[in-house]
Amino acid sequence: MFIYSLPLFFTHIGLASPLDLLIIFMALFVLLFINSLFFGGNSQKQYSDNYLLAGWNGGVELKWVFWPFFLILNACLYTADTLVKAGMFTVSSWDDVHLMLLLPIVWWTTAVWRCSSNTNLGVWAACARLLTISVYFEYGLKLLIRIDYPRIFFGCDELLLDYGSCF
């Protein structure tokens, strides 16, 4: 996450400085930590044969909902971005990967927010919630890059079949 998009954001787009984003990031963390202390909810574990349903309902430990999808998501995003930077992936294929990951991200966000009370420390709940918000910020950055700055990211000189997507 943010391996290719954040450097482009700071160097070419320049809407905010690294210090600005760090302050926003820390303020969000503090708000989410306070939220997890006061509005943690009841820790309830539901044993079900269906992992996806139990995660959606908030009946799984936070680490079992957060980490598997977080690692898979970041591997997919890194692979797609690296293939685009190498010129081995077209712009529309890059769009397809992000669109395919969007619905699982919605499930993951809901599951993390509902399962965040199933942890021992409020810090972990705040970190998990902050990282789910960061995924949406990453998607917003990628959408901004895709719409307004495609020539910077996609290497449009090398794309022959999908050159129209670079405008």
Domain assignment present for 160? no
Domain assignment present for 55? yes
Domain assignment present for 159? no
Domain assignment present for 116? yes
The pTM for the full model equals: 0.85
Domain assignment present for 166? no
Q: For the chain, what is the domain count?
A: 1
Domain assignment present for 161? no
Query: Above 90 in pLDDT, residue 163?
Result: no
What pLDDT digit, counting tens, does each position of 116-159 carry? Answer: 988 888 899 999 999 999 999 999 999 998 888 887 888 666 55
What pLDDT digit, counting tens, does each position of 65-90 carry? Answer: 999 999 999 999 999 999 988 888 88
Domain assignment present for 95? yes
pLDDT recorded at residue 50: 87
Buried residues in 43-75 as b, exposed as e (16+ CB within 10 A) = eeeeeeeeeeebbbbbbbebeebbeebbeebbe
74 contact partners, CB below 8 Å, separation of at least 6:
1
Domain assignment present for 163? no
Q: Domain residues for 137?
A: 5-42+51-154
User: Which band of pLDDT confidence, cut at 50, 70 and 90, is reported for residue 41?
Assistant: low
Integer Cα distance of 147 and 131 in angstroms: 24
